[in-house]
């Protein structure tokens, strides 16, 4: 069972390595969006410090959305998705493998690059630490929830914009608590603990429920 | 072994077929015939459980395929219109992955020899997007060599193949059926295989 999880994960990572542009696009999109704000609103430190957490989190949502459309679409077009649905393994496991690959390619890079973009907003060291932890807990939730939308809009014309309309409202709690954690935790890491705990709870709930929802959606979409 | 009972399928408002009954046993080849748009592919997808029928039921070894779920899928190999191979992966990588997903434990040697047997010697290590249409199809069909599934459902397996490949594929299917396997296929090409001892099912007649 884990062998199958592993081989699907390995396949998706291998495919991404053969098409590096897709991964880099997401990352550059994130960096550019975050960098545009200081240019637009000026370099007043106090203003940037207030804006920073929200901007970084909104950019993370959008960057995660950007790659979602391709999550199942490529497999759908070449027929490999059909074959995934016909294996004797639980589809939930295969969906989870695909979501994990998506997170490793789009979520994890954002976590790692967060300190760099944080510097543009004069965030304190503690705030940057909180931001990394909150992104580490929050971005997998984005991938998990996003996969449901990606599965539902599979094969639809104009699916991309519909996906955004479906999924972005569901991202709101993650955005509120993610950005909230960074704002609150600017001075002491401990202050952000309730927010981070809630984000962790979101992650556990999403891990338990979202793969089932996306598997069900995939079975509907493949008809 | 495989039984369809009062099967009815619709695409949107259009009724494709209804009240379809048939049973096929081990060692049978079923050739599904019909005009374009008569519902052959839909029937095959319904037999796989990829398409939900309007009414009726499909049984495998006496049990509904919905309740069998994964147990049924482990006995099934489906080959559809889409090859189901990744253009950015090589033939070897594609085939290994397919075998792992099918639950077959095959070694790397078996994968190489399967590709050699299907006529792709020398192309095993190329990304499949660089291959011709027929060669891609051969990569996908190499799964049949490795598969141990008793039920093969093949949708137009002969298109885009040259004479050698068509003969090879006929041999594979004939061997599978002779060994007690089941095969359901559609094809518009006249091949000796379907003219032989195959059973026929006519849709839209």
**Could you list the residue range(s) of the whole structural domain that residue A6 is in?**
2-222
- Say if the Cβ atoms of A84 and B101 lie within 8 Å: yes
Facing residue for B50 by CB, picked from A3, A4, A85: A85
**B81 lies in a domain?**
no
pLDDT of B18 reads: 87
CA distance A221 to chain B (A): 10
Query: Same structural domain for residues B158 and B132?
Result: no
CA distance A78 to chain B (A): 5
- Say if the Cβ atoms of A18 and B102 lie within 8 Å: no
Query: Same structural domain for residues B100 and B144?
Result: yes
Residue bearing tokens 């079975």: A219
CB of B81 less than 8 A from some CB of A:
yes
Which chain B residues touch A84 with a CB distance below 8 Å?
A: 101
Distance in angstroms (rounded) separating the CA atoms of residues A15 and B35? 39
pLDDT in tens, B133-192: 888 999 998 888 888 889 999 998 888 888 888 889 988 998 998 898 899 999 888 777
Query: Same structural domain for residues B1 and B29?
Result: yes
Q: Identify from A11, A74, A95, A101 which residue to disrupt to test chain B contact, counting B C-beta atoms within 10 A and taking the largest count.
A: A11
Q: Report the domain count for chain A.
A: 1
**B52 lies in a domain?**
yes
Facing residue for B73 by CB, picked from A8, A80, A86: A86
CATH code of the domain in which B157 resides: 3.40.50.300
**Could you list the residue range(s) of the whole structural domain that residue B132 is in?**
86-149
- Say if the Cβ atoms of A14 and B93 lie within 8 Å: yes
Tell me which residue of B108, B124, B105, B128 sits closest to B116, measured CA to CA.
B124
Query: Same structural domain for residues B71 and B4?
Result: yes
CB A79 within 8 A of CB A155: no
Query: Same structural domain for residues B68 and B5?
Result: yes
CB B177 within 8 A of CB B27: yes
Token pair belonging to A1: 């069972």
- Say if the Cβ atoms of B100 and A86 lie within 8 Å: no
Distance in angstroms (rounded) separating the CA atoms of residues B20 and B204? 11
Query: Same structural domain for residues B55 and B138?
Result: no
Q: Is the pLDDT of residue A142 over 90?
A: yes
CB B10 within 8 A of CB B159: no
Tell me which residue of A220, A20, A30, A11 sits closest to A100, measured CA to CA.
A11
Domain boundary among B115, B134, B149: B149
CB of B80 less than 8 A from some CB of A:
yes
pLDDT of B194 reads: 67
- Say if the Cβ atoms of B80 and A82 lie within 8 Å: yes
pLDDT of B109 reads: 86
Q: Which residues contact B16 (CB under 8 A, 6 or more apart)?
A: B9, B10, B38, B39, B42, B43, B203, B204
**Dihedral angle over CA of A62, A63, A65, A71, nearest 10:** 180
pLDDT in tens, B60-93: 998 888 888 888 888 899 998 888 889 899 989 9
- Counted across chains A and B, CB pairs separated by less than 8 A come out at 71
Q: Report the domain count for chain B.
A: 2
Q: Which residues contact B50 (CB under 8 A, 6 or more apart)?
A: A82, A85, A86, A222, A223, B78
Prediction pTM value: 0.90
Please give the mean pLDDT across all residues of chain A. 91
**B80 lies in a domain?**
no
Query: Same structural domain for residues B32 and B99?
Result: no
Domain boundary among B132, B149, B166: B149
CB of B98 less than 8 A from some CB of A:
yes
Token pair belonging to A71: 């999550």
Q: Is the pLDDT of residue B17 over 80?
A: yes
Which chain A residues touch B80 with a CB distance below 8 Å?
A: 79, 82
Q: What are phi and psi of B38, to 5 degrees?
A: -85, -5
Distance in angstroms (rounded) separating the CA atoms of residues A45 and A51? 10
Q: Is the pLDDT of residue A202 over 90?
A: yes
- Say if the Cβ atoms of B98 and A18 lie within 8 Å: no
Q: Identify from B46, B71, B84 which residue to disrupt to test chain A contact, counting A C-beta atoms within 10 A and taking the largest count.
A: B84
Facing residue for B100 by CB, picked from A7, A86, A90: A7
- Report ipTM for this prediction: 0.86
Residue B13 pLDDT class (50, 70, 90 cuts): confident
pLDDT in tens, B108-122: 888 888 888 888 888
Q: Is the pLDDT of residue A20 over 90?
A: no
Per-residue DSSP letters for B82-96? S----TTSBHHHHHH
Lowest-confidence region among B5-9, B55-59, B120-124, B153-157: B120-124
Instruction: Tell me the mean pLDDT in the region A122-146.
Output: 93
CA distance B82 to chain A (A): 5
Which chain A residues touch B74 with a CB distance below 8 Å?
A: 88
């Amino acid at each position: 069972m884990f062998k199958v999880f592993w081989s699907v994960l390995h396949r998706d990572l291998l495919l991404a390595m053969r098409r590096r542009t897709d991964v880099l696009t997401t990352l550059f999109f994130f960096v550019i969006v975050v960098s545009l704000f200081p240019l637009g609103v000026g370099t007043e430190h106090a203003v940037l410090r207030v804006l920073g957490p929200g901007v970084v989190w909104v950019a993370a949502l959008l960057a995660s959305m950007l790659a979602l459309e391709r999550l199942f679409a490529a497999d759908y077009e070449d027929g490999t998705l059909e074959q995934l649905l016909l294996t004797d393994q639980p589809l939930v496991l295969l969906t989870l493998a695909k979501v994990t690959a998506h997170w490793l390619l789009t979520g994890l890079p954002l976590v790692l690059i967060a300190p760099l973009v944080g510097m543009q907003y004069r965030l304190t060291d503690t705030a940057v630490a909180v931001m990394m932890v909150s992104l580490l807990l929050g971005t997998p939730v984005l991938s998990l929830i996003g996969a449901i939308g990606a599965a539902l809009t599979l094969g639809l014309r104009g699916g991309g914009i519909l996906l955004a309309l479906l999924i972005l409202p569901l991202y709101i709690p993650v955005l509120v608590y993610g950005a909230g954690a960074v704002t609150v935790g600017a001075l002491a890491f401990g202050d952000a603990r309730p927010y981070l705990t809630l984000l962790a709870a979101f992650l556990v709930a999403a891990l338990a429920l979202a793969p089932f929802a996306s598997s069900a959606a995939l079975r509907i979409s493949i008809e | 072994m495989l039984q369809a009972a009062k099967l009815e399928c619709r695409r949107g408002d259009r009724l494709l077929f209804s009240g379809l009954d048939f049973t096929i046993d081990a060692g049978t080849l079923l050739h599904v015939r019909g005009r374009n748009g008569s519902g052959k592919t839909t029937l095959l997808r319904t037999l796989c459980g990829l398409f939900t029928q309007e009414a009726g039921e499909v049984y495998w070894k006496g049990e509904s395929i919905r309740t069998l779920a994964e147990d049924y899928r482990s006995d099934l190999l489906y080959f559809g219109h889409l090859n189901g191979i990744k253009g950015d992966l090589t033939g070897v990588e594609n085939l290994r992955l397919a075998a792992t997903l099918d639950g077959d434990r095959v070694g790397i040697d078996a994968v190489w020899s399967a590709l050699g047997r299907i006529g792709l010697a020398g192309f095993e290590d190329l990304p499949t997007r660089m291959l011709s249409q027929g060669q891609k199809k051969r990569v996908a069909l190499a799964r049949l060599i490795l598969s141990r599934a008793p039920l093969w459902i093949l949708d137009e397996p002969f298109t885009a193949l040259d004479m050698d490949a068509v003969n090879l594929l006929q041999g594979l299917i004939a061997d599978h059926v002779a060994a007690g396997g089941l095969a359901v296929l559609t094809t518009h090409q006249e091949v000796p295989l379907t003219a032989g001892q195959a059973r026929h099912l006519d849709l839209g007649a």
